[in-house]
Every structure is written in C-alpha cells, then in structure tokens.
Amino acid sequence: MAQTGRPTQLFRNKSAKIAAIPMVLTALVVFVGATLWTVFHSFTKSKLLPSTKFVGLDQYERLWSQNRWLISIENLAIYGICSMIFSLIIGFLLAAMLDQKIRFENTFRSIFLYPFALSFIVTGLVWQWILNPEFGIQKIVRNLGFENFVFDPLYNPDIVIYGILIAGLWQGTGLIMCLMLAGLRGIDEDIWKAARVDGIPMWKTYIFIVIPMMRAVFITTLVIIASGIVKVYDLVVAQTSGGPGIASEVPAKYVYDYMFKNQNLGQGFAASTMMLLSVLVIVVPWAYLEFKGERSRG
Amino acid sequence: MADASATNSDVTTMSGPRGRKPTRMLTPRNIMLYGTLFVIAVYYLLPLYVMVVTSLKGMPEIRLGNVFSPPVEITFEPWVKAWSEACTGLNCDGLSRGFWNSVRIMVPSVAISILIASVNGYALANWRFKGANIFFTILIFGAFIPYQVMIYPIVIILREMGLYTKLSGLVIVHTVFGMPILTLLFRNYFSSIPEELFKAARVDGAGFWGIYFQIMLPMSLPIFVVAIILQVTGIWNDFLFGVIYTKPENYPMTVQLNNIVNSVQGVKEYNVNMAATLLTGLVPLIVYFVSGKLFVRGIAAGAVKG
C-alpha cells in the first residue's frame, strides 16, 4: 500500500486520517506537548500558578537540596534494585518450576498471578494489615513464645521501604513469571533433548544454555519492571502515606504533593522532569538495541 | 531432566495413554517440586485469606486474636457497614458511592478507549498513510513517559475544556493513556489477518468503515475481549488519575477506599477496612478468575511489544 499517485488513494485515506485524529492529538498534544510544557516550566519560577519567568536551574538546585527528595531517590533506588533482582529471580524460578510438565499448572499459575489483578491500593492496605505489629506477623511469632521478636517494617524508618517491597513483589512477580514462562516455552524442545543426551544436569542447562537464549525476554522484562518502578505511587500512599515521617517517600509522591498540596508547581515540574530523565536513561538504550536488532533481522 | 525418572516416564508414555503427565508422582524430585510450589501458593493466597477472615470477624475478636486466626463467630456486619455506612470526610454513605462512581467512569472509558484504539489500529494496519508510523512511534514511546510529567498540563487542558473534576474529563484521560497499549494490541492483531481478505473486500467496493464493521470487527472478537479485560482491570484499579481529575463526590472506589482506611480520625475498624478492601478488589478478581487465559493474553500483550 505504499504506492501513491493514484488519485483515489488520497480520497480513500481520508477516512483513515480522520480515524487517526485521536491518536495524532494524543501523540502531539499530550505525549509531546505536555511533556515539553512541563520540562520548559521546570526552569521557571512557577509557584501557585505556572509562570514563564525563567530562573535557570534554580528549581533543580532547590530540589537536590531537599532532604525529602534525597530520601525519595534513595528509597526508589533501594526499591528499584531489590525489586528488579527479586522479581527476576522469583519470577524465573516460578516459571521454571511451572515448566516441568507438572499437574495443576493452570491452578498454580492462577494463584501466582491473581495479585496482579488487584490494585496497588488494595495490595498496600492488605499488607499494611498483615504487617501491623499489634495483630500481624509480629504478634503471631510472639505468641509462639518469642516474646522479644520484632517485625514492624512499616513503623521503622530504617526498613520501611522493605515492607513496601514485600507488598510490591507479592503483587508483581506473577506478571514476571508469565513473561518468563512465555520465554521458556519459546525455547526449542530439541535443545533440552540435546542437553539431556549430552548428560548436562538440568541446572547447568538453565544457566548456560536457556538463560542466555532468553536474553531478549530478560531485557524486555527489565525495561518493563524499571519503567513501572519509577511510577510507584499508589502502593506507598496506601501502605504508609510516606511515613513514618518521610521515611518512605518516593519521587512520584513528591511530584503529586508539590503540585497539588503544597502549591509549589516549580518543584513538582523539576521533580517530574528528573523522573522523565531516569526513564529515558533506561528506555533509549533499550529502544536503540531493539531497533538495531530489528533492522539486522529484516 | 537428566534423572532416571524422567527417562522412565518417557518410555512409559510411549506405550501408555498419550499426554505429558508424569507417571510416577512420588519421586524425590516431584515431592520437592510440588512441595515448594504448594508453599509458595499458600504464601500468595495468604493475603486473600486474611482479607476474608478479618472482614468476617467482629472488632472484639480482632483485638484478641491475630490476623490469621479464623473467625469464631461469623458476622457480615462489616460488609454492610463498608458498603453503606463507612465515612470519608463528611459523607457517610459508604463505599457504594465510590463503586457507582467507578462504574460510571469505567463503562464509558472502556467503551470509548477501545472504540478509538481499534479504529486506530485498523487504520495503522491496513490504511497506512504518510506519517502514520511517526505518530505511532510517539505513541509507543509515550507509554514510557511517567504520568507525573503530563498530569499538570492535562489539568490545564481539562480546565480550559470545562471538564476538570468532572467524570467526563476522567474518561478522556483514561482514553488517552489507554491508547498506546490498545492501539498496539489492535494494530498487531489486524496486521495478522490475511491481507487477501482486505484486498478482496476493496475489490468488492467496500470502504474504510465498511471493511471495519463487516470484516474486521466480526473477525476480531477475541482481541476485543482481551482489550476489555485489560481496560476494565486497569481503569478500575486506577488511583492517580482518579484523585487528580475528580472531586470528592466523584472519587472512584480506590480513592475512596484509601480515604476510608487511612483516615486518621476515629477508631480504626479493621474488619470494616478489610471488607472495604475486599469489595474494591472483587471486581478485578472476578474479571480475572472468569477470564482465565484471556487475562494472561491481555497482560502479555500489554507487557511485551508485539
């Protein structure tokens, strides 16, 4: 359909062009326009209302001198790295176990994946309740006789982010498992047979043959996890509201609070631009690799 | 799988009934495997169990026991209270308000976003015009932009349109942010339909909309179901857009739930909170368990590029 020149082509494509108007508007107005608008205004003096008075990097300097922002970044880094490592490991192990031609595979898969259907708000509230030191896990272990047992991640500023991580992993690993399972199923049965004939133990086959073959799946999964992590917001709001104190703040919450609660738009714009930057750092190299791969393939 | 049991089962399956079921269940390897899977399954089910049992207990029982103890005396009062009496701010008409708000947000959002995205994907797959791929690329990259970057300009746009804090404004927001993934989903699906069909229809004189409604639509019902599942759960579970683009009386269920549970005033009624949480999670859970494999297909399509 690439050829042009026939007079009817232009007329026929009119409907297609009309149908594509929402997409064009979304792409240009929201994804390009709104993003540029925010990036531009992050260099301005915007406070209660957006302003166009240019102040250079002032907002960024203030941002990086805020203790709350530094804590947010630190939390995001801990949460991000842990959740990437653990969800990849757990997701892959679960997928590998489900790939052993077991019975009840569908049942197990449904169980591991159902948390993913729940919202972060529901997830956060359930885990807030389970981790409640008065009634939850701490109480149970104490009842077993360990009177001094302490497990109150949501009330301890030092480890609160790990409390959130537990909930986040519970919610998200099912998805990773599904992606990994799809990757494992995409591997040729003959490779397994060949490895078996050669007498290579199963774990070695996984580590030295299967996982390297699933490189693309791993990279895509990592990009999905990473771009999701930057957006973490609801989970923290539901589970701790950023507390105790500001110990579990995250960048997305910083943005929301400064834009809609503290009436300090400039800070919100600067913080969200930093979030955009971190996503670009992840997505651009990935897109570049993907694009290059596609080119050489086709 | 180099151990003896695997080779044995291979031999036996050749002569016995076909299929891949392992013939001997009680090998050490199987005990380990199923044992591990069972323990993990219990862990994943635990929060659901905790929600259910807590919501069926009375407050005195909760204070005495722990989160895992089963209810001695089952009461449905927390459910009634969560649904029709729980307070958020000045409103004390329970989660039912949020539920109906969510329904009023979800139904038009799902319908409009899927309608637009399917026509869009169809145009991209079969009626490619100059520049179409540029917009599509922007759209796909847009899916990675953190929402926080775009939320404020959208507030301004909606305010200019007079839709800020209105449900219709939120519907537009959901349509816009659902577009990348849905368009990708439909574009890939329509691209997989043999082009001969499309060409034959054109020879017969069918136009853009004719082909869409008479050929593409009837052939692609499964992908519509996948899209509906994706959107219903996604929009129902949304919190950020709900809290930004609506006002308290229009808050969707997730926002209201969070306000009920995390309100600082009053005595904490954990059983009511858990009943409310379970009520909010019920819609996506039902969608999940009813849709089964289609849900997996939806998220796989949502997660992996086509």
Q: For B226-252, write each residue's pLDDT tens digit.
A: 899 889 999 999 999 999 999 888 899
Q: Judge if B112 and B243 occupy the same domain.
A: yes
Identify which of B135, B152, B180, B155 has the alpha carbon closest to the alpha carbon of residue A40: B152
Residue B246 structural domain: 96-303
A17, A23, A256: residue with CB nearest B183:
A23
Q: Evaluate if residue A133 carries a pLDDT over 80.
A: yes
Q: Judge if B227 and B149 occupy the same domain.
A: yes
SS3 annotation, chain B: CCCHHHHHHHHHHHHCCCCCCCCCCCCHHHHHHHHHHHHHHHHHHHHHHHHHHHHCCCHHHHHHCCCCCCCCCCCCHHHHHHHHCCCECCECCCCHHHHHHHHHHHHHHHHHHHHHHHHHHHHHHHCCCCCHHHHHHHHHHHCCCCHHHHHHHHHHHHHHHCCCECHHHHHHHHHHHHHHHHHHHHHHHHHHCCHHHHHHHHHCCCCHHHHHHHHHHHHCHHHHHHHHHHHHHHHHCCCHHHHHHECHHHCCHHHHHHHHHCCCCCCCCHHHHHHHHHHHHHHHHHHHHHHCHHHHHHHHHHHCCC
Q: Judge if B171 and B50 occupy the same domain.
A: no
In a domain, B15, yes or no: yes
pLDDT mean over B79-90: 83
Using CA coordinates, name the residue in chain A closest to B282. A118
How far are the Cα atoms of A248, A276, B83, B140, B213 from residue A238, in angstroms, in the given order?
Answer: 12, 24, 19, 29, 43
Helix B96-126 and helix B77-84, axial crossing angle in degrees, nearest 10: 70
CATH of the domain at B289: 1.10.3720.10
Question: Tokens at residue B64, please?
Answer: 């005495």
Judged by CB atoms closer than 8 Å, whether chains meet at A129 and B183 is answered as no
Spatial CB neighbours of A260, under 8 Å, sequence gap ≥ 6: B244
pLDDT mean over A265-294: 86
**DSSP annotation of A207:** I
Q: Judge if B73 and B108 occupy the same domain.
A: no
A54 three-class SS: strand
In a domain, B202, yes or no: yes
Q: Evaluate if residue B113 carries a pLDDT over 50.
A: yes
Residue with tokens 């885990």: A127
pLDDT at A238: 92
Identify which of A271, A250, A208 has the alpha carbon closest to the alpha carbon of residue A46: A271
Question: Which range, of A150-154, B116-120, B207-211, B301-305, averages the lowest pLDDT?
Answer: B301-305
In a domain, B43, yes or no: yes
In the structure, what pLDDT confidence band is assigned to residue A82 with cuts at 50, 70 and 90? very high
pLDDT at B89: 72
Long-range pairs, A1-9, Cβ under 8 A, ≥24:
A1/B126, A1/B127, A1/B128, A2/B128, A4/B130
Whether residue B79 contacts residue B55, with contact meaning beta carbons closer than 8 Å, is answered with yes
Q: Evaluate if residue B19 carries a pLDDT over 90.
A: no
Q: Judge if B106 and B20 occupy the same domain.
A: no
Say if B142 is an interface residue toward chain A (CB within 8 Å).
Answer: yes
pLDDT at A293: 61
Residues of A in contact with B36 (CB under 8 A): 97
% helix, strand, coil for chain A, step of 5 = 75, 0, 25
Residue B76 Cα, gap to closest chain A Cα (Å): 19
Residue B194 Cα, gap to closest chain A Cα (Å): 14
Identify which of B260, B284, B263 has the alpha carbon closest to the alpha carbon of residue B272: B260
In a domain, B205, yes or no: yes
Cβ-based neighbour number of residue B6 at 10 Å = 16
Identity of the amino acid at B244: I
Q: Judge if B152 and B282 occupy the same domain.
A: yes
In a domain, B86, yes or no: no
In terms of Cβ atoms closer than 10 Å to its own Cβ (0-12, 13-18, 19+), residue A294 is exposed
**Planar angle of CA A253, A283, B293, nearest 5 degrees:** 85
How far are the Cα atoms of A39, A255, B180, B240, B252 from residue B151, in angstroms, in the given order?
Answer: 12, 10, 17, 9, 18
Question: Tokens at residue B51, please?
Answer: 């929600």
Query: What are the phi and psi torsion angles at B239 (to 5°)?
Result: -120, -50
In terms of Cβ atoms closer than 10 Å to its own Cβ (0-12, 13-18, 19+), residue A2 is exposed
Share of chain A above pLDDT 70, in %: 94
Q: Evaluate if residue B16 carries a pLDDT over 80.
A: no
Residue with tokens 């858990």: B274
pLDDT at A256: 94
Q: Evaluate if residue B292 carries a pLDDT over 50.
A: yes
In a domain, B120, yes or no: yes
In the structure, what pLDDT confidence band is assigned to residue B1 with cuts at 50, 70 and 90? very low
Question: Tokens at residue B121, please?
Answer: 């994907």
Judged by CB atoms closer than 8 Å, whether chains meet at A200 and B2 is answered as yes
Interface test mutation site (partner B, options A3, A4, A11, A23, max chain B beta carbons within 10 A): A23
Identity of the amino acid at A73: I
In the structure, what pLDDT confidence band is assigned to residue B105 with cuts at 50, 70 and 90? very high
Identity of the amino acid at B210: G
In a domain, B90, yes or no: no
ipTM reported for the complex, 2 dp: 0.86
Q: Judge if B12 and B153 occupy the same domain.
A: no
Identity of the amino acid at A169: L
pLDDT at A148: 84
Rounded CA-CA distance A275/A76 in Å is 11
pLDDT at B24: 64
Residues of A in contact with B146 (CB under 8 A): 230-231, 252, 272, 275-276, 279
How far are the Cα atoms of A71, A86, A103, A238 from residue A233, in angstroms, in the given order?
Answer: 15, 20, 38, 9
How far are the Cα atoms of A165, B140, B143, B174 from residue B178, in angstroms, in the given order?
Answer: 27, 11, 9, 6
Rounded CA-CA distance A210/A157 in Å is 41
Higher-scoring residue by pLDDT: A7, B103:
B103
Judged by CB atoms closer than 8 Å, whether chains meet at B120 and A255 is answered as no
pLDDT at A294: 58
Query: How high is the mean pLDDT of chain A?
Result: 87
In a domain, B85, yes or no: no
Say if B286 is an interface residue toward chain A (CB within 8 Å).
Answer: no
pLDDT at A295: 54
Q: Judge if B144 and B256 occupy the same domain.
A: yes
pLDDT at B21: 55
Higher-scoring residue by pLDDT: B7, B64:
B64
Interface test mutation site (partner A, options B48, B57, B145, B283, max chain A beta carbons within 10 A): B145
Higher-scoring residue by pLDDT: A62, B303:
A62
In the structure, what pLDDT confidence band is assigned to residue A242 with cuts at 50, 70 and 90? confident
Which residues 221-280 of B have a C-beta within 8 angstroms of A? 233, 236-240, 244, 254, 257-258, 261-262, 270, 273-274, 277, 280
The number of distinct structural domains making up chain B is 2
Side-chain-side CA neighbours of residue A137 (13 Å): 14
Q: Judge if B137 and B198 occupy the same domain.
A: yes
Rounded CA-CA distance B109/B175 in Å is 6
In the structure, what pLDDT confidence band is assigned to residue A2 with cuts at 50, 70 and 90? very low
The pLDDT tens digits of the residues spanning B25-83 come to 678 888 889 999 999 999 999 999 999 999 998 888 888 888 888 888 888 888 998 88
pLDDT mean over A206-234: 86
Query: How high is the mean pLDDT of chain B?
Result: 85
Q: Judge if B184 and B44 occupy the same domain.
A: no
Judged by CB atoms closer than 8 Å, whether chains meet at B139 and A115 is answered as no
Rounded CA-CA distance B65/B58 in Å is 11
Rounded CA-CA distance B70/A49 in Å is 53
pLDDT at B2: 40
The neighbouring-strand residues paired with A54 are A44
Q: Judge if B203 and B296 occupy the same domain.
A: yes
Residue with tokens 């590998």: A96
Judged by CB atoms closer than 8 Å, whether chains meet at B299 and A32 is answered as no
B129, B145, B257: residue with CB nearest A121:
B257
How far are the Cα atoms of A81, B177, B181, B182, B273 from residue A272, in angstroms, in the given order?
Answer: 20, 17, 22, 25, 33
Which residues 117-136 of B have a C-beta within 8 angstroms of A? 119-120, 122-124, 126-130, 132, 135-136
Judged by CB atoms closer than 8 Å, whether chains meet at A35 and B262 is answered as no
Domain end call among B79, B104, B127: B79
Q: Judge if B112 and B29 occupy the same domain.
A: no
Question: Tokens at residue B128, please?
Answer: 């490619």
Q: Determine if the peptide bond prior to A22 is cis (ω within 30°).
A: no
Q: A with B: how many residue pairs have Cβ under 8 Å apart?
A: 276
Residue A286 Cα, gap to closest chain B Cα (Å): 12
pLDDT at A5: 46
Domain end call among B44, B79, B114: B79
Residues of A in contact with B238 (CB under 8 A): 119
For CA atoms A214, A107, B36, B16, the dihedral sign is negative
